[in-house]
Structure 1
Amino acid sequence: MRTNTAPETRTEQVIHAIRERIERRTLTPGARLPSVRAMAETIGFSKSTVVEAYDRLAADGTIRSRPGSGFYVASPLAPLALDRMGAAVEREVDPLWMLRQSLADDRTRLMPGCGWLPEDWLAGDAIRKGLRAAARDGRDGALTGYASLQGSPPLRALLARRLAGQGVDAAPEQILLTDSSTHALDLVCRFLLEPGDTVLVDDPCYFNFLALLRAHRVTVVGVTMTSTGPDLGAFAAALADHRPRLYLTNSAAHNPTGATLAAATAHKLLKLADAHDLVIIEDDIFADFEHAIAPRLAAFDGLNRVIRIGSFSKSLSAAVRCGHIAARPDWIEALADLRIATSMAGNPLSANLLHGVLTDGSFRRHIEAVRTRLSRAMARTVKRLRAVGVEPWIEPTSGIFLWARLADGIDAVTLARAALAEGIMLAPGNVFSISGSWSDFMRFNVAMSDDERLFEFLATACRKAR
């Protein structure tokens, strides 16, 4: 990293540009650099400037010369820096910025832009009870051993029963436990994707989908989201134009919009997926917050080309790291092998703790209470946002998110920066958008939006815009 503030010489500019391309994986070890003449013509500098830059890069081992052939990248790749893999315009307020703000150590901030429930809404007492039970578990390896190949059989059997309640027919053998839903998604991407493949996402979509897909070096194409699911015309056009390998989505309590997939949309979407041999990953992490079971792609499809992932980090505890994948048996077998190769076996303590909490009658009561609180918080937040000039896109029937349009003339990124200076963490629309077309929207977590300071800040911003 450059630490001085003096202007770069032309030679330094060439060196910096080449090193940046190596860091961003545009140039990899063994790749041939443009000839001196070609580089000089491209950047508009003299050939002597390029020669000096190449000589200095060769001297420090970054590139090497092959007489009669040219210059080639020689140095090993630097550690992957995700925030350098997007266009320069994305590096300030982008999905990684959002993740850093969400996970910052500053616990004094208001967090209406975060993606989880307040601490006092979670099942702390049930977890403490479960931990005491786990500590008394006398089975061999319960506290010290590795998990079995696919993870705890009792928990997988319980998850199969819970999936059946959503209309998803999955045997325990079709379920693989993971460290989290993000880990589940990463495993599926490792299994099915190659760099350069195309993946469809909703526009807008969960911002970490974009960050994780960037790490897998794939092309991401957005499909406009509607109140009943992806726009089917745009979806069909994207399939024809881009021939994607995967489609990644939330079906119920969509993040960030709060929309719910309609049954008619689901049927048409699956017909399109079948015609184009498209695999669908359905992230169902907010299922516990539904009052009524919404349509599921995995239920209609029977886990043929749909892979269902989830966890309980939002409804139970982010500290109990245990997610899962439900998929075809042959894919589960291959994913289990991949899991062993990349992270060994799972966490039996987390799995046993999760099973104990889920089978305790107090968890059901806890979730029912959370749903009631969320419904009240949703109605209250809708009313208060409208009062200050912020209009919800829809009024969700469940979940924690409200997607809302700011008053005319207000840019969400600019507002988020101003809010951060006031100790308020907001979630600007374009961090959720591959197209950058939601610049005047914000995602609000209704469980975190019951503070007068938030609405005073928004009211002031709207008055200034008017």
Structure 2
Amino acid sequence: MPAPPMKIEFVINSILMQMRAGSLRPGQRLPSIRDEAQRLGVGKNTVVEAYLRLVSQGVLHAKPGSGYYVVDTPAPAARAPGIPFAAAIGRVSLLTEQLDRRLPVRPGDGRPPPEWLETSELHRYLSYQRFQEADSYNSSWGHAPLRDRLCGALAERGIACSNDQLLMTHGANHAMDLIIRRYVSAGDNVLVDDPGYYPLLAKIALAGANAIGIQRRHDGPDPADLAAKAKASGARLFFTQSLAHNPTGGSITFGTAYAVLRAATEYNLLIVEDDPFADLLPYTAPRLAALDQLDRVIYIGTFSKTLAGSFRAGYIAAAHDLAHDLNELKVITTVSTSAHDERLIFQLIENGHYLKHLRRLRTRAIKASAESVAALESLGLTIRRPIEGGFYLWVDLPEHMAGDDLVYDAARSGIFIAPAANFSSKPDPPAAMRINIAYGANPVFLAWLRVKLSNK
């Protein structure tokens, strides 16, 4: 069976990173195929293909009976003095690295590995399916059959929603951007989970507003902290992710959800609830939108965590007047969303391919989560329980592992990490790290982490 293309690129990038960092020099022999396969957690055929490609590129040369040797070192990427290659410092660079994928070992990534999607029923369907060309722009609200189907999915989650309350967006980030543009002015105070979703913090800053962090416990936002800060700040908007929280992985309980809604009612808060893992989670899981029925909750859904990254498709469900306001703003700013993507998603759902894909994705996530937890706990780290079905683990670190130096050191080893500073509205949060379950048991990452933990 041919080696997966993404795994081959992973091995190639790992070698090139070592060459840029100077740990592999001209004339130096590479590890044996078996040793490199074991180090990177891939198959031997994958390493063979990677070595051969680098030979064809003139980077390596093979000596029969001896192995593979470095013959050339690529020029290092341009960067400021003293800053390692591709170190993801700050929220913008953290997001950029998730798009450009320069570092080969990726525990800090926010997305599932591409091969989780490429080898699924979904990928096989996409490879052969052909769709009729659209002869005009999409409806301003989005593809009507898909919106009807999504209203049905929301009903299964306990959220009553009619077709004129749901508008399609270019993903969850576009949905948040629309809400901020419509309801946030420069100088406003906006309440957010802390730790919380880092692109949201960047959007609030771009609007000239102030993000005020609400302590995020493993069972949801701290209701007492929410009430106190809503009263003191005069904020009218609270962004939260109730289930499989990014970055901590925890989920809200019914008791906490009721307390959050009581505080929202008392202090006239509009709540924005992001639910990116909805299709992987139980319909009966506690959701603020289900308890509130879109009275003071705006609900955001997306396909970005379950479909290929090139699908930029999400949606907003809200009270009638809010939905119409947001859709009008969408038309002014982006005209419409993609009819092609929305028709494709609808066909995937209607034909049963999306359901098959979700079953496989859940199985992969459960297996990877168990492996990552076991590997990290073997290093003496504590993983919070329960783990609620998303892609993230939140790991508290010793104080000596705080600061940007850790990110630089990881990047020099070809490792992409996501430390706590990116997820907090506070200037100096306690040392911690978000870890993607798909990469938490990577042997290169674990070896690096073991050294860092021991260097007290």
Rounded to whole Å, the distance in 2 between the matches of 1:431 and 1:399 is: 19
The alignment status of 1:370 with 2:361, answered yes or no, reads: yes
Q: Say which SS state the counterpart of residue 251 (structure 1) adopts.
A: coil
Q: 1:276 to 1:188 in 2, by over 3 A?
A: same
Instruction: Tell me: CA distance 1:325–1:131, structure 2 relative to 1, closer, same or farther (3 Å).
Output: farther
8 Å CA contact retained: 2:169, 2:315: yes
Report the alpha carbon displacement of residue 414 of structure 1 after superposing the two structures with TM: 2.4
Secondary structure, in 3 states, of the residue corresponding to 1:409?
Answer: helix
Structure 1 pair 412–445 and aligned structure 2 pair: CA distance change class (3 A): farther
Task: Check conservation: 1:426, 1:442, Cα contact below 8 A.
Answer: yes
Match of 1:36 in 2: none
The equivalent of 1:101 in structure 2 is 97
Matched with 1:299 is 290
The 8 Å contact of residues 390 and 407 in structure 1, kept in 2 or not, is answered as no
Contact 2:122 2:357 in 1 (8 A): no
Deviation, structure 1 residue 355:
0.7
Structure 1 counterpart of 2:326, which letter?
A: L
1:110 has 2:105 as partner: yes
CA distance in 1, matches of 2:334, 2:96: 24
Q: Match of 2:92, as an amino acid?
A: L
The structure whose Rg is larger is 1
Aligned-pair distance for 1:126? 2.4
The 3 A distance-change label for structure 1 pair 293 and 414 is: farther
Q: Secondary structure at the match of 2:448?
A: helix
Identify which of 108, 121, 126 aligns with 2:122. 126
Q: 2: distance between equivalents of 1:182 and 1:338?
A: 15
2:158 is equivalent to residue 167 of structure 1: yes
User: Which residue is equivalent to 1:267?
Assistant: 258
Q: Which amino acid aligns with 2:338?
A: N
Match of 1:201 in 2: 192
In 2, are the aligned partners of 1:143 and 1:349 still within 8 Å (CA)? yes
Distance of aligned partners of 1:442 and 1:455 in 2 relative to their CA distance in 1, 3 Å threshold? same
How much has 1:291 moved relative to structure 2?
4.7
Quote how far apart the aligned CAs of 1:197 are: 1.2
CA shift, 1:411, in A, is 1.5
Counterpart CA distance in 2 for 1:171 and 1:329 is 9
Residue type of the alignment partner of 2:138:
A
Alignment size in residue pairs: 369
Partners of 1:426 and 1:92 in 2: how far apart?
A: 8
Structure 2 CA distance for partners of 1:420 and 1:439, relative to 1, 3 Å: farther
Distance 2:398 2:210 in 1: 33
C-alpha contact 2:121 2:357 (8 A) present in aligned 1: no
Q: Which residue does the alignment assign to 2:392?
A: 401
Greater length-normalized contact order (CA 8 Å, ≥ 6 residues apart): 2
The one-letter code sitting in structure 2 at the alignment partner of 1:99 is L
TM-score by length of 2: 0.77
| CA deviation string 1:286-315 (max 9, x = no partner) | 212325632001101110110011210111
Deviation of 1:223 (Å): 0.8
RMSD between aligned alpha carbons?
Answer: 1.9
* 1:210-289 correspondence to structure 2 within 5 Å: 210-289=201-280
Equivalent positions of 1:77-92 (< 5 A) are none
Seq. identity, %: 33
Match of 2:372 among 373, 381, 389: 381
For structure 2, the residue ranges without an aligned partner over 5 or more in a row are: 1-86
Q: AA paired with 2:110? A: G
* Letter in structure 2 aligned against 1:375: I
- TM-score normalised to the size of structure 1? 0.76
* Residue number in structure 2 paired with 1:317: 308
CA separation in 1, counterparts of 2:208 and 2:398?
36
Letter of the 2:98 partner, please give it.
S
How far 1:148 sits from its partner (Å)? Answer: 0.8
How much has 1:413 moved relative to structure 2? 3.2
Counterpart check, 1:183 vs 2:174:
yes
Cα offset for 1:132?
Answer: 5.0
> Does the CA-based 8 Å contact 1:320-1:350 persist in structure 2?
yes
Is there any run of 5+ residues in structure 1 with no aligned partner, and where? 1-90
- Give 4+ residue runs of structure 1 displaced > 6 Å after superposition: none
Could you list the per-position Cα deviations for residues 127-154 of structure 1 after superposition, in whole angstroms to 9, with x for gaps in the alignment?
563575443x2xxxx4241011211110
Q: Distance in 1 between matches of 2:248 and 2:208?
A: 26
Give per-residue Cα distances to partners, 1:299-343, cap 9 Å, x unaligned.
011101100112101111211111111001111112121111111
